[in-house]
Amino acid sequence: MNETARAAIVTGVAGDVEIRSYDLPRPGPGEFVLEVELCGMCGTDAHIYRGRLDSVRFPALLGHEIVGRLTALGEGVRADHAGRPVEVGDRVGVFPALSCGRCYECTVRRRPGSCPDRRPSYGFASPADRPPYLTGGFATHLYASNAGTVFYRTGLEPAVAVLQEPLSVALHGLERSRVGIGSTVVVQGVGAIGLMAVVAARAAGAARVVAVGGPPARLELAAALGADEVVDIDRVPDPARRAHAVRDALGESRGADAVIGTAGSPAAFTEAIGLVADGGTLAELGNFTDRGTVPFNPFSDLLKRDITIAGVYGAGPDMQRRYHSALTLLRRGGLPFDQVVSHRVPLSGARRALEALGGDYRLDDREIVKLAIDPHA
Ligand SMILES: [Zn+2]
Ligand SMILES: [Zn+2]
C-alpha cells in the first residue's frame, strides 16, 4: 500500500507549519479512517498556536471541527452514534472529545470533561511526531484511533456540516440562558459562535433577537440568520451609548431576558451584565481563555438585580447530544448556513490562517467570519 496522507504540523509556538506525509493506517477493531473534506479552524486553534494551552505540546496537529468521508472501517464499526448504519463513502461529523462513557464522572455526574480516563481530543493530541499520527483535522485523513469514537452520519454539505461544533457550543449557551418562547435576547459578538447563537435563540422561540458586534458583513449575516436588529460596535464605540442603542433595538428599556456573551473580553463581560434585565440571565461563552479580571460588585451587579450568570465552557456536558441536535438544526435548512465559512484554506495556508485568527481577522483582503481548512484544495 503506497497511499499516503498529508498533515499540517505546527512545529513550535507560533512556529513553522510543515506538511508531513504518513502512510495511511489500517484501522483496528472499533477504529476508522476518514478522508477529511473540511475542518473548521477556530479561536482555540489560534490560542494553541500561540502556546496558550499548556496541555498541547509541539509538534502539534490541530483541527477538531472535522467533517469527512469514511474510507476504512475497523471490525465492528457498522453504525453511527445515533444507530444509523454506515459504510465506506458516507460523510460523517466527528465528535472530537474522548471520554470513557462508563465511569462515575461520565455517567453519574455527567461531567465527561472530568473523566479520569479522558484521552486528548482529536485536534489536541500531541506531540504529533509519534504514533498513532493523523489525530487532527488539518490533514487529508483522520485516524480515529480510539475505538468507540463518536461520529454522526450527515448528508449536509461539508461547509454546513462543519458548523456542528460551533452550533453545539451555542446550544449549550442557549440551554444555560433559559431562553424560551417569547424571550428577548441579546447576542454579544458575531463570530461563528455568536452567529450560531442567533440561530439557536430563534430555534428556542425567542421573540426578539438583537446582535451586537461587527464588522458590517458579519452583522448582515446575523440578520440573515435571524437577528431582528443589529448594533454595530464601530458605529457606537462608547459602551454607555451602546447600552442605549441595544435597549432601543430590543424595544425594552429594562434590558434583555437573556444575554449570550460570545465577544470574549473581560470588558465585554462587564458590558453584558449591564444588558441583562433584572431577573434575567447572562450566559458567558466568550472568555474561553484567561484574558484577565474585571471589577464586580456582588450586591449591585448580581443580588440586587436578581440575575443569573452562567459560565458556559464549550459544548459542555451532554456534548454528544448537542452535537447531534446541531446537525438536526442545520439539516432543517432555510437559512444561509453556507455563507458562514468565509475562507477555505489549503493545508499549505494553515500558518497564514492561524496568524490571521490570532491577529486582525483578515485573510486575502477579506474579513474572516469562519475559516476552514480544505485539505484537498
Ligand atoms: Zn473549535
Ligand atoms: Zn469516564
Q: Tell me the CA–centroid distance for residue 47 and ligand 2, in Å.
A: 27
Instruction: Give the mean pLDDT of 214-220.
Output: 94
**What's the CA gap between 84 and 152, in Å, rounded?**
8
Q: Tell me the CA–centroid distance for residue 145 and ligand 2, in Å.
A: 18
Q: Which of 33, 45, 40 is nearest to 5 (CA)?
A: 33
Q: Tell me the CA–centroid distance for residue 108 and ligand 2, in Å.
A: 10
Q: Tell me the CA–centroid distance for residue 206 and ligand 2, in Å.
A: 35
Q: Tell me the CA–centroid distance for residue 100 and ligand 2, in Å.
A: 4
Query: Contact at 8 Å (CB) between 34 and 92?
Result: yes
CATH code for residues 170-311? 3.40.50.720
Q: Tell me the CA–centroid distance for residue 110 and ligand 2, in Å.
A: 9
Q: Tell me the CA–centroid distance for residue 169 and ligand 1, in Å.
A: 9
Instruction: Give the mean pLDDT of 239-262.
Output: 97
> Using one digit for the tens of pLDDT, what is the confidence trace for 346-362?
999 999 999 999 888 89
Q: Tell me the CA–centroid distance for residue 112 and ligand 2, in Å.
A: 6
> Which pLDDT score is estimated for 345?
97
Task: Indicate which ligand has the atom closest to the C-alpha of 119.
Answer: 2
> CA distances (Å), 352 to each of 64, 349, 358, 364, in order?
18, 5, 10, 10
> Which pLDDT score is estimated for 72?
97
Confidence tier at 328 by pLDDT (50, 70, 90): very high
For 89, the enclosing helix (H) or strand (E) is none
> Using one digit for the tens of pLDDT, what is the confidence trace for 257-288?
999 999 989 999 999 999 999 999 999 999 88
Task: Indicate which ligand has the atom closest to the C-alpha of 41.
Answer: 1
Mean pLDDT of the chain: 94
Confidence tier at 54 by pLDDT (50, 70, 90): confident
Confidence tier at 78 by pLDDT (50, 70, 90): very high
Task: Indicate which ligand has the atom closest to the C-alpha of 115.
Answer: 2
Give 345's strand partners.
Answer: 373
Whether residue 130 has pLDDT greater than 50: yes
The pTM of this model reads 0.94
Q: Tell me the CA–centroid distance for residue 166 and ligand 1, in Å.
A: 6
Whether residue 1 has pLDDT greater than 50: no
Q: Tell me the CA–centroid distance for residue 69 and ligand 2, in Å.
A: 28
Residues 6 or more apart from 325 whose CB is under 8 A from it?
A: 168, 171
Range scoring the smallest mean pLDDT among 72-76, 216-220, 229-233, 359-363:
359-363
The CATH classification of domain 4-162+341-373, taken from the options 3.40.50.12160, 3.90.180.10, 3.30.565.10, 1.10.600.10: 3.90.180.10
Instruction: Give the mean pLDDT of 83-104.
Output: 92
Whether residue 126 has pLDDT greater than 80: no
**What's the CA gap between 296 and 192, in Å, rounded?**
28
Q: Tell me the CA–centroid distance for residue 119 and ligand 2, in Å.
A: 10
Q: Kindly write down the DSSP assignment for every residue of 312-331, as one continuous string.
A: --TT-TTHHHHHHHHHHHHH
Domain boundaries, the chain: 4-162+341-373, 170-311
**What's the CA gap between 199 and 114, in Å, rounded?**
29
Task: Indicate which ligand has the atom closest to the C-alpha of 165.
Answer: 1
> Using one digit for the tens of pLDDT, what is the confidence trace for 140-192?
999 999 888 999 999 999 999 999 999 999 999 999 999 999 999 999 999 99
For 67, the enclosing helix (H) or strand (E) is strand 65-73
Instruction: Give the mean pLDDT of 310-336.
Output: 91
Question: Which three cell numbers mark 8?
Answer: 499540517
